[in-house]
Structure 1
C-alpha cells in the first residue's frame, strides 16, 4: 500500500497557518443560511397550498421535498465540520451550538459522531474503516445502482434508517452512521429499559423536532412538519448515498489520501442537493481536516497548481464509474 502523503511535504508552515484559520461569522452564516432556506421553502409551500390548484401543487411539493432534503444533508455536513472543530472558533460553538442547531434536528449528535468519524479518517479504505460498508460492492451494474437509488427515493432506505435509529437509541444496536448492524448484549434488561434508554438518547432529536413541529403548528400549517419528515425519509437518503459514493467508492485501498479519496466537481445543482458546504472537496478535507469549509477551494487550487491531484470528475461521471461493472 502507498505511504500516506505528509502535509508538511506539500505546504509551507505559513500556508498551513493561513488555511486553518477559522471564522465564527462564516460558521454562523452557514448555519443561519441553511435554516433560512428551510424557512423560505416552508413559506413558499404554505403559499402554494393556499393559492395553487392541486395539479400545480404536486411539482411544488416535490421541489420543496428536494430542497428540504438537501438542507438536511447540509445540517449533517455542518455537524461533521463541527466534529472536526472547524465550523466555529470556539469549543462551545462546535460542541453545543452546532449540536443543537445542526446535529440533533437530523437525529445525530456531535459527541457520538466525532470519535466514530475520526476512526474513518485514521483508517480510510482499510478493513477497520467504520464507513467501509457505505461504498463496498462498487462498482456494480447499472441495474443494481438504479435499484439502490429507487429504494432511497421511495422511502425504503429511509424507513430502515429510522428503525435503526430507534433501535440504536434504545440500546439494541451499536451506534453507527454506516450500514453495519451490530446487536448489543441485552442480558439483564427489562422491558422498561428500552423506552427509558430511547428517551434518554433521543431527547435532543425529540426536543428540536418538537420545536420545529410547534413552529409549523403556530404558523397555521402543521402539515409542513410532515414535509420535513418525508424529506428525511425520501430524498435525504438518496443525497447521502450519492455523496458517499463520490467521496470513496471505486478507489484503491491505499493509505495515501490522494488515492483513497475523491474530490468531485460540483455545479450549482450539486451544491444545492448533494454537495453543500464544500463537502465535494474531499481529498483536501482528508489531507488536512483542520481546514474550515470555506478555505477548501483554496487548498484545492494549491494541490492542482502543484500537480498533485487530477481534474475532478463531476457527479454524473461518478455515477457512471460506480455502475460500470
Structure 2
C-alpha cells in the first residue's frame, strides 16, 4: 500500500492532507494489538459474568448486563475493523478471528457485512447508501424515540430482528426440513459459537449464565446502545455532500465510552476519512485533523446527549420510523 499523502476531496474547501509519515502511521496495523483487543473484549465479558455470579444482587446484575452488552457491541466493532482488514496485519488472522471470535457470537457475518459496509463508505449519506434508512427519518419526536428505547430494553427489538433473519434465511420452501436445512446452513457458526459459550458456562457450573448474562444483554442493552450509536454517526448531520459534515464524531469521556462507545467507535468521522486506520489509532487521526485547524468545519458533538437532543427535536409525531434496522445480518453494526 502506497504511503502517498491521503487527500480527501469532495468540494473546493480545504480538506485533510496527511504527510507521508502520518499516512504510513495511520495505515500500520498490529497483530499484537488486534489480539489484545479481542482478548480484552472477551475478558471484560468473563469478568462481568464472574462479578454477578460472585455477588448476585440487582445492582451487580445491572452492571453486568451493561458491561457485557457494551462488549458485545465491542465485538461487533472489532468485526467492523476486520471488514476493513484493519484488525490484524495478517490477512488470515484478520478474516478468521474477525469472523469467528467477533462477528458470529453476536450474530453478524463478516462475509455478508463487508460488501454491504464498503458500499456505505462509497456512498455515505447519498441515495445509494444502504445505511441511509438509519439516518434519513431523523429528527423524530421524543415520544417516538422513547417508544423505540422501550422496545429495545425489553428485548422486543432484538427478538424481532433475530426472528426476521431466521425467516428470511429459511425462505418459503414448503418442506419444513428444507427450511431447517437452509437455516442451519446460514446460522451454523452463530449456533456453534453460542453453543461454545453455553458449554463454557455449563462447565463452570453456571449454565444459566448463558441465558441471563449473554443472551439477555445481547437482546437488550446491545440493542439500546446500537441504536444510540447509529443515530450519533449520521443522523441530523450538517451537510450530506461534505465529507467533513456528513459523518459525526461524538466526543465522550471514559465512562461513556465504557458503556456506550467501546474501542473508539465515537471517532466515526475520522474512520470515514481514513478507512484503513485501525480503531485504536482513531484518536491520533482526530488530533491530526485538529492540528490542521479543521475543527470548525468538522461535524463534532460534545456528547451523546447533544446528539439525541438534535435527533429528537421534531415536535409532531406522525408515526415516524426513525432507525428501522436493515434486514441484513451485520448491517447497521457500525
User: TM-score if structure 1 supplies the norm length?
Assistant: 0.88
Deviation string, structure 1 residues 196-245 (Cα, Å, up to 9, x no partner): 01101101111110010011011110110012101111111001001111
How far apart are residue 255 of structure 1 and its match? 3.2
Partner of 1:161: 161
Aligned counterparts of 2:313 and 2:247: Cα–Cα separation in 1: 19
Partner of 2:200: 215
The aligned runs of 1:310-321 (5 Å cut-off) are 310=296, 312-321=301-310
Aligned counterparts of 2:168 and 2:85: Cα–Cα separation in 1: 25
Partner of 1:124: 124
Partner of 2:19: 12
Partner of 2:4: none
Deviation string, structure 1 residues 54-84 (Cα, Å, up to 9, x no partner): xxx1221122111111010000000000000
What secondary structure, in the 3-state scheme, does the structure 1 residue paired with 2:163 have?
Answer: helix
Partner of 2:285: 299
Aligned counterparts of 1:5 and 1:124: Cα–Cα separation in 2: 18
Aligned counterparts of 1:294 and 1:232: Cα–Cα separation in 2: 24
Q: Is 1:198 matched with 2:183? A: yes
RMSD of aligned Cα (Å): 1.9
Aligned pairs, number? 302
What secondary structure, in the 3-state scheme, does the structure 1 residue paired with 2:245 have?
Answer: helix
Q: Which moved more, 1:191-200 or 1:27-36?
A: 191-200
User: TM-score if structure 2 supplies the norm length?
Assistant: 0.86
What secondary structure, in the 3-state scheme, does the structure 2 residue paired with 1:258 have?
Answer: coil
Structure 2 residues without counterparts, runs of 5 or longer: 1-8, 315-334
Partner of 2:47: 40
Aligned counterparts of 1:23 and 1:156: Cα–Cα separation in 2: 39
Q: 1:229 aligns with which of 215, 220, 241?
A: 215
Q: 1:28 aligns with which of 35, 44, 50?
A: 35
Aligned counterparts of 2:100 and 2:307: Cα–Cα separation in 1: 33
What secondary structure, in the 3-state scheme, does the structure 2 residue paired with 1:220 have?
Answer: coil
How far apart are residue 4 of structure 1 and its match? 5.6
Q: Is 1:239 matched with 2:239? A: no
The aligned runs of 1:35-184 (5 Å cut-off) are 35-49=42-56, 57-170=57-170, 172=171
Partner of 2:311: 322
